[in-house]
Every structure is written in C-alpha cells, then in structure tokens.
C-alpha cells in the first residue's frame, strides 16, 4: 500500500486527454505527465500553487509532447523521456532505458519500455506509491493502437505491466473507457466482471464523471487485451489455442475495425 504523500492532480484537456500533475509536498518537486495542453497545465499549476520542475514524457505524439518546449521555456523544467526515442521528444534533458530508476522528490520511479503504440513509448511506475502513468500503452479496458509496433511487441509490453502489484493505480492518458468497455463485451460476452464494470462505467459517464484511474486488479478482470488466455475471448474471436500475442493482436485488429 502507498505510505507516502505523493499527490496526483488530474484534469481534463484537449478532447479526451487527461492531464496529470504529480507533486511531492516535502520537496516541492512537481511534474506534468506529458504536455497535452500548455494552458490547461498552467491552469492546473496555478490552482494547486505548484511550480513545474519536471516533464515526464511517455511518447512523442503531439497530444503528449506538443507542449514540451513552451513549458520548458516558461518553467526551466527538466524533461525526461525515452533514450530510444530521444530525437522525437522535444527538449529532452534526461534519457532513460528500460529498468532505469530515478528519484522524484524522494519517490522511487522505475521506467519500463512498452513499445507497440509507438516504438519509444515508456511508462512510469512510482514503485513505493503504488501508482503508475501508462500513457497510451494501456487504457481502461483497452490498449493503444499499434501505430508503430506489432502485436508481439505490445503483448510483451503489457506483460511487463501485468507483473506489477494488482493494487497499482493506473493513470492512462485518455478517457476511452466507455467505448472500450462496449467493444470488450463483444469479444468476451460471458465475463461477469466485465458486464458489471461496463454498467458502472455507463453510469459514471452519464453523470459526467471520470472512469480513470483504474487498478491493475480491475484491468486483469475486465481488459480483453490483458486476457488473451480467456477461453470465452478465444472462442468468440476464433483463436482457440493460438499464441497469446496472436490472440491479443486479433483483438486489437477487431477493435480497429469496430
């Protein structure tokens, strides 16, 4: 369980992105997870009275790194991102590789390379805080589109996340949960946990509420991209006994065409 005092401030920006500020009150260390929208990030900083010290980039897409240079110029903050994609992370100062750990205001953070959505996607696990920022790799009941990688890469990326404690709070970068959930029901219709979660999500969205963060435990029970071993899923999509990466890949292909 989390024993520390790490604070996460969540806000909506762009069409369906989430912005996140991460703050350690003892040191004042404050990061934005990605830079989707400069004005929304500055607004959040002013609401909280925090000063931006870091940008933690998950990947190069404009809705994740598009505000890097403007924020760096304004705040003189340090930009952290993936070494393997450094050329596409504007203003990057510190380049990390799979397994690297760093100190964030006294909090241990480990990064994991999770190629699939992009080749250089990384996720940030605050290991003693039971919190992770998973960008566009994993969504609630979904996963990122395979723009640059293939299903084998994505499945190995998702398996890294599957090894974390089930209690881990997962902050993903988009509010895609409702659409993901309704797709998930088409490929795993017998999953009672999924049926219950979709009903709950429909209620939350009807009330204008967010469905993120989620937990790894909930995702293991309901996210078809983490459940290629499910017999119900394999039967529904016609992949009984296939390699798990292939099942996941077929699930992704069906979602792309849904």
- Is 125 marked active-site? no
Cα angle 189, 177, 236; round to 5? 20
CB of 150 to Zn ion, least distance (A): 16
Segment interacting with Fe ion, rule: CB under 5 A, options 4-12, 38-46, 60-68, 71-79: 60-68
Segment interacting with Zn ion, rule: CB under 5 A, options 57-65, 122-130, 212-220, 234-242: 57-65
Binding mask of the shown chain, residues 118 to 157, with x at each position contacting Zn ion by CB under 5 A = ------------------x---------------------
- Is 63 marked active-site? yes
Nearer to Fe ion, 59 or 107 (CB): 59
CA 119 to chain centre: 15
User: By the 8 A CB rule, do 20 and 6 touch?
Assistant: no
CA–CA separation, 162 and 166 (whole Å): 8
CA of 30: how far to CAs of 48, 75, 117, 162, in Å?
11, 11, 27, 27
Choice from 136, 175, 219, 250 touching Fe ion (CB under 5 A): 136
Of 23, 54, 60, 64, the catalytic one is: 64
Choice from 24, 34, 37, 63 touching Fe ion (CB under 5 A): 63
What is the number of other CB atoms lying within 10 angstroms of the CB of residue 16?
12
129 binds Fe ion (CB under 5 A): no
- Is 64 marked active-site? yes
Residue 56 binding result from Fe ion, Zn ion, none, given CB thresholds of 5 to 8 Å by partner type: none
How is residue 250 annotated by DSSP?
H
Nearer to Fe ion, 48 or 88 (CB): 88
Choice from 23, 54, 61, 197 touching Zn ion (CB under 5 A): 61
Of 54, 117, 121, 125, the catalytic one is: 117
DSSP one-letter string for 38-52: HHHHHHHHHHHT---
E strands, the chain, where? 7-13, 17-23, 30-33, 54-56, 78-82, 94-96, 101-104, 107-113, 122-126, 131-135, 138-139, 142-143, 169-172, 214-215
Strand partners of residue 52: none
Nearer to Fe ion, 63 or 175 (CB): 63
Q: How many residues bind Zn ion (CB under 5 A)?
A: 2
Residue 227 binding result from Zn ion, Fe ion, none, given CB thresholds of 5 to 8 Å by partner type: none
Residue 253 half-sphere exposure, CB side, CA atoms within 13 Å? 11
Of 60, 61, 107, 121, the catalytic one is: 61
* Residue numbers annotated as active site: 59, 61, 63-64, 117, 136, 174
Contact positions vs Zn ion (CB under 5 A): 61, 136
């Amino acid at each position: 369980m989390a024993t520390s005092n790490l604070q996460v401030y969540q806000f909506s920006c762009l069409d369906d992105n989430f912005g996140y500020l991460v703050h350690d009150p003892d040191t004042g260390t404050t990061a934005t997870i990605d830079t989707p929208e400069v004005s929304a990030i500055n607004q959040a900083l002013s609401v909280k009275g925090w000063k931006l010290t870091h940008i933690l980039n998950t990947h190069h897409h404009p809705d994740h790194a598009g505000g890097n240079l403007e924020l760096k110029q304004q705040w003189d903050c340090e930009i952290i991102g993936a070494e393997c994609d450094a050329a596409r992370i504007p203003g990057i100062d510190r380049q990390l590789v799979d397994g690297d750990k760093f100190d964030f205001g006294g909090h241990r953070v480990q990064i994991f390379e999770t190629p699939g959505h992009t080749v250089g996607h990384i996720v940030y696990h605050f290991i003693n805080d039971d919190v992770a920022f998973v960008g566009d790799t994993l969504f609630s009941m979904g996963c990122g589109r395979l723009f640059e990688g293939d299903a084998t890469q994505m499945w190995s990326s998702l398996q890294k996340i599957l090894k974390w404690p089930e209690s881990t709070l997962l902050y993903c970068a988009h509010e895609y949960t409702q659409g993901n959930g309704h797709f998930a029901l088409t490929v795993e219709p017998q999953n009672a946990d999924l049926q219950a979660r979709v009903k709950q999500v429909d209620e939350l969205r009807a009330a204008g509420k967010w469905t993120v963060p989620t937990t790894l435990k909930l995702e293991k029970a309901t996210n078809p991209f983490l459940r290629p071993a499910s017999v119900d899923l394999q039967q529904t999509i016609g992949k009984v006994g296939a390699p798990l990466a292939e099942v996941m890949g077929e699930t992704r292909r069906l979602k792309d065409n849904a």
